[in-house]
């Protein structure tokens, strides 16, 4: 079988396969779902358009989805996050470099923004679907919401018959996105309406993408049911926290190899990601200062022993600045201009708008020096006595995936077990009759028993002995012995 795909170098497949094999050992959740559901093939007939960092761990997710019967096309959800060997191995699958038999992947490390949106379009463009919509994608697996946005904006613009020009206040990326849609509308005026009509649901990986879904649902514009995977406890309280605790220092080390001990690290945001980031930096011996806008999270940070300050008050103290907010304009150009010489600035939130890179580039006399890919020195007042510089990681994009390889397998096994279960839920329940439908065009979180199941799948590998409730104790607490063990409002 030959199929279309685009990766950096297909001959990297063997190297990727070795890494995937080791990752499988560290991903007990996904491997036990393969065992449990392989025989019944619950995803048979599902054609999944996946947009999520094309890493080794994602390769194990993709091959779990296909082991459960799905057909898949995949792109990365960030221009720097692909591991090229993983992408190659997924394409080759059980075939050879000459005769690949895996999954069509459209992803490579270092895409341009034009290429990025081209890859997003490819995962939603299935062979033959222009003449037979039944051959098109019928599920989306998203991270950050770009694939979902492409479909929704496509439908919106098709309805009015044109794509607007970018506003001067829009980002360069949004302008490129509009260009892609304009071209697709010219070539096929009903493509996105047709595509949306076949899609049965989306499962969304991250805080930022989930935020977009709730906005669509509130406006009554969500075109298909959505499962918020991020807010499974076994996702956000694990991947966002413990994953970051691992992959933030990994990214800083690979990028700069600077000693973090004794340095002052400023973490903007103390949500799940911020908590993991602050803990990691403290673990390395940094003195950590947190900035927050939410009094609850600010108080938590203070109780956890961190100084909480406004960014402006600590600019001259910080050696390392990390944004984790999912918000825009958190570190502005004037902030960067006020930092000490060789301060390191990085973002680990989903989008690159947390750090004002465009404003930095506009500072008069500024010079950008590439130290190595994804590590840049920005020199202020170059050649004068006042010359100073800061180091910006991954051009303001998420540094744990740009400068390192993202979260480790074991924690991603939790996140991706939730993704797999969410896809099964949406796909197997799509034909429920009206009135009995469990998933309407709204955003849902997986039921707690499934969340607990994901945790359970990971206990043995860590040698955890779980205490069992006696029947008597269960009655006393008004619980079922088999769970769920906590009410919906419990916060962990
Ligand atoms: P969250 O909502 O739990 O935390 C964000 C925190 O930032 C909140 O406490 C909020 O009050 C605070 N915040 C907002 N604006 C701020 C400002 N101007 N200054 C200081 N604090 C501010 O979200 P979570 O789950 O921690 O995710 C944060 C971002 O990280 C999202 O974009 C998410 O998609 C992304 N993410 C990235 C991962 C990675 O591997 N790089 C993994 C998981 C999530």
* Residue 486, in any domain of the structure: no
Mutate to test the pocket of ligand 1, among 273, 307, 396, 405 (most ligand atoms within 8 A of CB): 273
Alpha carbon nearest to ligand 1 atom 12, residue? 269
Ligand 1 centroid to residue 457 C-alpha, Å = 27
Q: Could you tell me if 17 and 77 lie in one domain?
A: yes
| Residues 343, 436 within the same domain | no
Spatial separation of the C-alpha atoms in residues 409 and 26, rounded to whole Å:
6
Separation CA 66–CA 80 (nearest Å): 25
251-292 per-position pLDDT tens digit: 999 999 999 999 999 999 999 999 999 999 999 999 999 999
* 3-state SS, residue 291: strand
Ligand 1 atom 35: the closest Cα is on which residue?
349
Residue 402 lies in a domain: no
Do both 217 and 291 map to the same domain? no
Q: Mark whether 153 and 204 lie in a shared domain.
A: yes
* Cβ of 251 less than 6 Å from ligand 1: no
pLDDT of residue 2: 73
474, part of any domain: no
For ligand 1, the distance from its centroid to the CA atom of residue 29, given in whole angstroms, is 26
Does 240 carry a binding-site annotation? yes
Q: Which domain holds residue 369?
A: 259-349+353-396
What is the tens place of the pLDDT at every residue in 217-229? 999 999 999 999 9
ipTM score of complex: 0.99
Token pair, residue 355, equals 């750090």
Question: Looking at residue 1, what is its pLDDT?
Answer: 56
Domain count of the chain? 2
387 within 8 A of 379, measured Cβ to Cβ? yes
Query: Is position 242 within any domain?
Result: no
Same domain flag for 96 and 215: yes
Same-domain status, 363 and 434: no
In-domain check, residue 372? yes
What's the mean per-residue pLDDT of the chain? 97
294 in contact with ligand 1, CB cutoff 6 A: yes
**pLDDT digits 0-9 by tens, 341-361:** 999 999 999 999 999 999 999
CATH at residue 316: 3.40.50.720
Q: Does some domain include residue 245?
A: no
Residues 31 and 164 in one domain: yes
Across the range 395-400, mean pLDDT stands at 98
Counting atoms of ligand 1 from 1, which one is nearest the CA of 407? 40
CATH for 105: 3.40.50.1480
Residue 475 lies in a domain: no
CA 326 to ligand 1 center in whole angstroms: 4
Specify the ligand 1 atom closest to the Cα of 240.
43
**Strands across the sheet with 139-142, in order?**
105-106, 71-75, 47-51, 139-142, 202-204, 226-228, 443-444
**382 and 411 in a common domain:** no
72 domain-assigned:
yes
């Amino acid at each position: 079988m030959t199929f279309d795909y685009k990766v950096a170098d297909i001959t990297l497949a063997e190297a990727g396969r070795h890494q995937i094999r080791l990752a499988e050992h560290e991903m007990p959740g996904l491997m036990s779902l393969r065992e449990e559901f392989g025989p019944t093939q619950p995803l048979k007939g599902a054609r999944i358009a996946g947009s999520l960092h094309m890493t080794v761990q994602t390769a194990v997710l993709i091959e779990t989805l296909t082991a459960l019967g799905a057909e898949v096309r995949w792109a990365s959800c960030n221009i720097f996050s692909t591991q090229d060997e993983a992408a190659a191995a997924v394409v080759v699958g059980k075939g050879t470099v000459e005769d690949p038999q895996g999954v069509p992947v459209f992803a490579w490390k270092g895409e341009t923004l034009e290429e990025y949106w081209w890859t997003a379009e490819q995962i939603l463009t299935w062979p033959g679907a222009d003449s037979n919509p039944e051959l098109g994608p019928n599920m989306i697996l998203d991270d950050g919401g770009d694939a979902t946005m492409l479909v929704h904006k496509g439908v919106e613009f098709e309805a009015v018959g044109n794509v607007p020009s970018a506003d001067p206040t829009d980002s360069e990326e949004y302008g490129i996105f509009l260009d892609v849609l304009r071209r697709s509308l010219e070539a096929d005026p009903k493509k996105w309406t047709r595509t949306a009509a076949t899609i049965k649901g989306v499962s969304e990986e991250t805080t930022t993408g989930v935020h977009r879904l709730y906005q669509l649902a509130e406006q009554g514009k969500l075109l298909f049911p959505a499962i918020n995977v991020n807010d499974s406890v076994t996702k956000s309280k694990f991947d966002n926290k413990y994953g970051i605790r691992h992959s933030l220092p990994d990214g800083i080390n690979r990028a700069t190899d600077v000693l973090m001990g004794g340095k002052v690290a400023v973490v903007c945001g103390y949500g799940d990601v911020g908590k993991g980031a602050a803990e990691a930096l403290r673990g390395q011996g940094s003195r950590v200062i947190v900035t927050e806008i939410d009094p609850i999270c600010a108080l938590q940070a203070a109780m956890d022993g961190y100084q909480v300050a406004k960014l402006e008050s600590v600019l001259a103290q910080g050696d390392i600045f990390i944004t984790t907010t999912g918000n825009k304009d958190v570190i502005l150009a004037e902030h960067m201009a006020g930092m000490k010489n060789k301060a390191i600035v990085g973002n680990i939130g989903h989008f690159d708008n947390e750090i004002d890179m465009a404003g930095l580039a506009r500072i008069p006399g500024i010079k950008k020096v590439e130290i190595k890919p994804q590590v840049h020195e920005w020199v202020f007042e170059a050649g004068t006595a006042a010359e100073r510089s800061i180091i910006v990681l991954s051009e303001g994009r998420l540094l744990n995936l740009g400068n390192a390889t993202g979260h480790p397998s074991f924690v991603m096994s939790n996140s991706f077990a939730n993704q797999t279960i969410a896809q099964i839920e949406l796909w197997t329940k799509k034909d429920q009759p009206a009135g009995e439908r469990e998933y309407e065009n709204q955003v849902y979180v997986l039921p707690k028993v499934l969340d607990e199941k994901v945790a359970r799948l990971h206990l043995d590998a860590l040698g955890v002995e779980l205490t069992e409730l006696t029947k008597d104790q269960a009655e006393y607490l008004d619980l079922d012995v088999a769970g769920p063990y906590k009410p919906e409002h419990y916060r962990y």
